[in-house]
Structure 1
Amino acid sequence: MSHLDILLPFGLPPAELASDLLRALKAPSLAMLLARARLRHQAFDGFARALPHEAWLALQFGLPDGTKAGGSLPVAHSARQAFGLPPAAGVWFILHPVHILAASDHLVLIDRRHLQIAEAESRVLFESARPLFEEAGRQLVYGDADTWFVRADDWGELHTSTPDAACGHNIDIWMPKGDGDRNWRKLHNEVQMHWHGHPVNEERAARGLKPVNSLWLWGGGTADAQNNPLSPATAGPYTQSFHLPSWLQTRSGQPAATMAEVVAPGTEKRLLVLDTLIEAALAADWSEWLTRLHQLEADWFAPLLAALKDGQLERATLLASHNAALSEFTVTAHSLRKFWIKPSLARLVP
């Protein structure tokens, strides 16, 4: 049976704005798919250290969901592989150079997608921070402008949060906690002081860009904790996966330009991740959220409806989420024939 799962992070509108947003949303194909689907809804802790769609992806690809015990998603080794770094022993974490905004009485993590760190800038900041890590007995490794890695074998019980889970909030409850948190805070503060007034940040300020004034630590774990019992060559439970996040790229993820490429014959079970709503939702830019959802309707949902109707797909499951819920809508060619059920977007409100 040909089956497609589509993961749509932040496809569910916030409850307080849902009626206005759904009234403005013109998505007839999506409305048809939702109305005639079988629905299953899951509630999540809105203060968890990973977002619902992140926890779902980790589960699908055999990565332990430490968030259920107040811990973290141990994805750093998987991310290292995605950057072509060799396998390494020990406990590794992902590090993102970020901007943290000082509000009136708390600190807020700004979405790193907005930071626009150039490769040359990141390299300079990396080299300036490396001696501080070495002095603390930590190995620092460069991935790309946005992603570095640090080894800290004695921080195996340190609970960390994904950057998107913490983004836009008072970061206090999302900061690393547990064994090693004091050592991390000390090292982190030293880096922050070292970067204050750094020429890279002076030049960024002159161009109207936010300074890179902090680091976000997350994803810690050992290689053993992140070994997928399912072969990466088979993309986990899927025969093909498209648009996976960087920390899962080694699980045979690949780009896809059109729905026709995704539903091409010869593949039984596929996964498509459509992540274009995340940035707008984290910024609470609901006008942009609507614009992007309208584009998804044209590019993906209308072709999906056509693929189900003409038999290219037998079944599709749309998994839409926000920060505290995930709803699964499973639709088949047969269920689409229920002509007496009118298209509606109302089921996007859990």
Structure 2
Amino acid sequence: MTHLDILIPFGLPPPELAADLFRELNAPALAALTARAKTGAGSRHERHDDFSRTLPHESWLGQRFGRDSRLRVSGSLPVAGNMMRHLGVTANNASDNGLWFVVEPVHIHIARDHLVLTDPRQLMLTEPDARVLFEIAKPLFNESGHDLRYGNARYWFLRADAWDALQTASPEAATGHNIDIWMPKGPGERDWRKVQNEVQMHWFGHAINNAREVGRLKPVNSIWLWGGEHIGTKYDARPYDAVFNFEGWLQALADDGVTVNTAAAASSVLSSPSRQALVVLDDLQEPALSSDWANWIDGLRRIENDWCAPLLDALKSGTITSMTLIITNDTGLSRFTTTRSSLRKFWVKPSLATLCP
């Protein structure tokens, strides 16, 4: 393999916790890959806007896969159209052509003086319950002149051709924050909020939510809009011939002709005939968003043992020519490109301190 990119969302801890968290970790392979990375033009560390509507790893993916121009208009990654295709929601006929958004059922809780979005991963909504809630919401959208379609328990899709300039935020970017800052802004925002409020009222006190609360699950009390994309949009960028661990909306980034693997181990990546490949290791995002740092440490240990150690060996043996680690948190991104020759910098002591900007 000529080059391998490894994207680790939320592999960077908050700066104020970094020293304490890294003290709990024994990760010699990760330390070697980062400390002995090549030094070149440009900064290893990039700072992102605290109020960006996408997380740093989402922005990076948008740039790599040629979505950055649409991303600047829409705020969140344009993925709805391709997600629908992957889920078999569209019939690929002319009547489906238009602007579609992702709609996610979510839980919003009340903080002291504002509303906060909970990580959608924590919802654990079943298909039967999701179908019931969808059938309640669909006629409310029909009344407003919009087509709502079911994808699966987590992802639904809304057609709204007139909302082309509407700025939306990914749910992960908004998670844990005051939702007012990340609510849709621009043409169509009032129409969206009106239907969103109606859905909330119809779901309030529903038997499904009552049962969820009895079972100590969070009620499904709202919906989140993001990912606006025109059906059939083609993108020129094809940076990889294979992608690994692409699940959920990530699959929408891979165009036809790219080998998509939904789950993979390091051994299958290293045995792949691909020349340029990307692996996403997304085990740290959920514990980081919920500030569960004990599970975050456990997740990084697994990445060290299951990925960093075998990939370091592959670099040393020449199985991989070069590798770049792209490691992020909610406000920053760091890159470390390592080669067989850069690993020979014996005078550089491996250290996780390199991960701290």
Give me the TM-score of the superposition, normalised by structure 1: 0.95
Maintained 8 Å contact 2:73/2:165: no
Maintained 8 Å contact 2:97/2:231: yes
Task: Go from structure 1 to structure 2 and tell me whether the alpha carbon gap of 1:182 and 1:265 turns closer, same or farther (over 3 Å shift).
Answer: closer
What secondary structure, in the 3-state scheme, does the structure 2 residue paired with 1:249 have?
A: helix
- CA distance in 2: counterparts of 1:29 and 1:185, whole angstroms: 48
Maintained 8 Å contact 1:55/1:65: no
Alignment of 1:49-128 (within 5 A): 49-68=53-72, 71-86=75-90, 87=92, 88-128=96-136
Correspondence for 2:302 among 295, 303, 308: 295
Alignment of 1:202-217 (within 5 A): 202-217=210-225
Higher mean C-alpha deviation, range 198-207 or range 175-184: 198-207
Please list the CA deviations of residues 294-314 of structure 1 after superposition, one character each: whole Å capped at 9, or x if unmatched: 011010000111111111111
Maintained 8 Å contact 1:163/1:216: yes
- Give the counterpart letter for 1:25 in structure 2: L
Residue 41 of structure 1, CA deviation: 2.1
Residue 49 of structure 1, CA deviation: 0.3
Aligned to 1:332: 339
Give me the TM-score of the superposition, normalised by structure 2: 0.93
Maintained 8 Å contact 1:52/1:324: yes
- CA distance in 2: counterparts of 1:181 and 1:61, whole angstroms: 28
Q: Does 1:134 align with 2:153?
A: no
Q: Does 1:307 align with 2:319?
A: no
Q: Does 1:169 align with 2:171?
A: no
Aligned to 1:38: 38
Number of residue pairs matched?
Answer: 344
- CA distance in 1: counterparts of 2:106 and 2:178, whole angstroms: 15
Maintained 8 Å contact 2:10/2:288: yes
What secondary structure, in the 3-state scheme, does the structure 2 residue paired with 1:221 have?
A: strand
Residue 265 of structure 1, CA deviation: 5.1
What secondary structure, in the 3-state scheme, does the structure 2 residue paired with 1:297 have?
A: helix
Correspondence for 2:203 among 195, 199, 207: 195
Residue 82 of structure 1, CA deviation: 2.1
Alignment of 1:237-316 (within 5 A): 237-250=239-252, 251=254, 252-264=259-271, 266-316=273-323
Aligned to 1:26: 26
Residue 338 of structure 1, CA deviation: 1.4
Maintained 8 Å contact 1:65/1:73: no
- CA distance in 1: counterparts of 2:221 and 2:227, whole angstroms: 20
Aligned to 1:178: 186
Correspondence for 1:348 among 327, 339, 355: 355
Residue 315 of structure 1, CA deviation: 0.4
- CA distance in 2: counterparts of 1:41 and 1:292, whole angstroms: 22
What secondary structure, in the 3-state scheme, does the structure 2 residue paired with 1:38 have?
A: coil
Higher mean C-alpha deviation, range 31-40 or range 186-195: 31-40
Alignment of 1:7-18 (within 5 A): 7-18=7-18
Residue 253 of structure 1, CA deviation: 2.2
Maintained 8 Å contact 1:82/1:247: no
Please list the CA deviations of residues 151-184 of structure 1 after superposition, one character each: whole Å capped at 9, or x if unmatched: 0111111110000000011111100010011111
- Give the counterpart letter for 1:7 in structure 2: L
After superposition, the CA RMSD in angstroms is: 1.5
What secondary structure, in the 3-state scheme, does the structure 2 residue paired with 1:219 have?
A: strand
- CA distance in 1: counterparts of 2:272 and 2:153, whole angstroms: 38
Please list the CA deviations of residues 177-218 of structure 1 after superposition, one character each: whole Å capped at 9, or x if unmatched: 100111111110000000001111111122111110000000
Maintained 8 Å contact 2:131/2:153: yes
- Give the counterpart letter for 2:231 in structure 1: A
Higher mean C-alpha deviation, range 81-90 or range 281-290: 81-90
Residue 221 of structure 1, CA deviation: 2.5
Residue 349 of structure 1, CA deviation: 0.8
Maintained 8 Å contact 1:48/1:67: no
- CA distance in 2: counterparts of 1:256 and 1:221, whole angstroms: 26
Maintained 8 Å contact 2:89/2:149: no
Higher mean C-alpha deviation, range 80-89 or range 312-321: 80-89
Aligned to 2:327: 320
Gaps of 5+ in 1: 231-235
Residue 258 of structure 1, CA deviation: 1.9
